Amino acid sequence: MELKRRVALNGIQLDEVDERIVITSVEPGDGQENITAVDAAAGYGQRITGCRRRTVDMVVRFSIHENGRSTAGQQARSEVLEAVNAWAAQATKGAYLTVNYKPERRLYVVLAQAPGEGTLWEWSREFSITFRAYAVPYWEEETRRSARIGNDGISGSDTILMEGSAVTAVDAELLNMSGMAVQSAAITIGQKTIRVSGLGMAANEALVIDHTADALIRIRIRAANGSYRSVMDKRTTDSADDFTAAPGSTSVSYEAQRGCRLTLYWRCRFL
C-alpha cells in the first residue's frame, strides 16, 4: 500500500515490504554539532577553534495493522516486524535513505537502533527505527553536478558555483588527451592543491580523485579498459588531504605535464 509518508533504503520502499505496514512519521533529527573554543587572550569571551557536525539522526515510526489478540495474530505481527528489520538491516554497513517529500535528496545512514517486538498483543503499538548519518551528516543531491575546466591543454582554470548550505566533497577526473605518458599533475580547488608525480599515466587513462560512500578519498588511475589502480602513494607530501568546497564561488585550476581534460563532480549538501 502506497502511503503519504514514504521512506526507502537503496530505492526499496518500506511500505512495499508488507501491506500491513503503516508509516506514521518520518522525523529528521537535529544535527549534532561539536564546537571547540579557548579563552580569548583579552581576558573575556572565547575564540572558536573548531566547528564540526558529527552526526544526524533519522527516526522512522510505523505501526502494523494486524490484530495481535490471538496467537495467530501475534505470529503475523512478528513476521511483519522481522520483514521490517530485514529491510532496515540493509543499512547495517551503510545505505542511502530517501523520503518522498525531499525529491533529489539522499542521506547516507547506518542502522543505529532496530525496533524490538515488545508486546505484540498491543495491536496499536507504534514502533521506531533510528538511522544515523556518520560519514556525511548532511542531505545531499542524488544527481551529481559536473563542470569541465579548461580546453584540454597543459593547464586551465575557471570558477564553479557551489549551491546548498554545507561544505561538500569535490571529485576530479584528469583525462590524458595526449599521445604520451603523463608523469606529473596538480589540481587546485579553492586553497587546496593535490600534486602527484611518477604517475605513468598512459594516453586515454585518467587520474581520478574521488570519495567512497563513507567519504574516504581515493586517488586512482582509470585505464582505457575501465579498470582502476591506486596511485595514492604518488601524492606529494605538500598536497592537501582532501578536496572540499563551501557554498559560493570557488576557483579551480590544473597543471599537467601534457595536454589533459579536467572534469569536476560534486553533490551539493544541505543542513
- Which pLDDT belongs to residue 140? 97
Q: Are residues 127 and 178 in the same domain?
A: no
- Which pLDDT belongs to residue 50? 65
- Which pLDDT belongs to residue 30? 77
Q: Are residues 209 and 254 in the same domain?
A: yes
Residue 170, strand partner residues: 266
Q: Are residues 266 and 153 in the same domain?
A: yes
Domain count for the chain, please give it. 2
Q: The domain that contains 54 carries what CATH number?
A: 2.40.30.200
- Which pLDDT belongs to residue 13? 97
Residue 1 in domain: no
Q: Cα dihedral sign for 7, 11, 13, 17?
A: negative
- Which pLDDT belongs to residue 53? 82
| Spatial contact of 89 and 111, defined as CB atoms under 8 Å apart | yes
pLDDT along the chain (271 residues), means of 10: 82 95 90 72 71 89 82 86 97 96 96 87 85 96 96 95 96 96 97 97 97 96 97 96 96 97 97 90
- Which pLDDT belongs to residue 2? 58
Q: Is 167 exposed, middle or buried (0-12, 13-18, 19+ CB in 10 A)?
A: middle
Domain range for 266? 144-270
| Spatial contact of 144 and 245, defined as CB atoms under 8 Å apart | no
Q: Are residues 15 and 49 in the same domain?
A: yes
Q: The domain that contains 170 carries what CATH number?
A: 2.60.120.860
- Which pLDDT belongs to residue 3? 63
> Which pTM does this prediction carry?
0.89
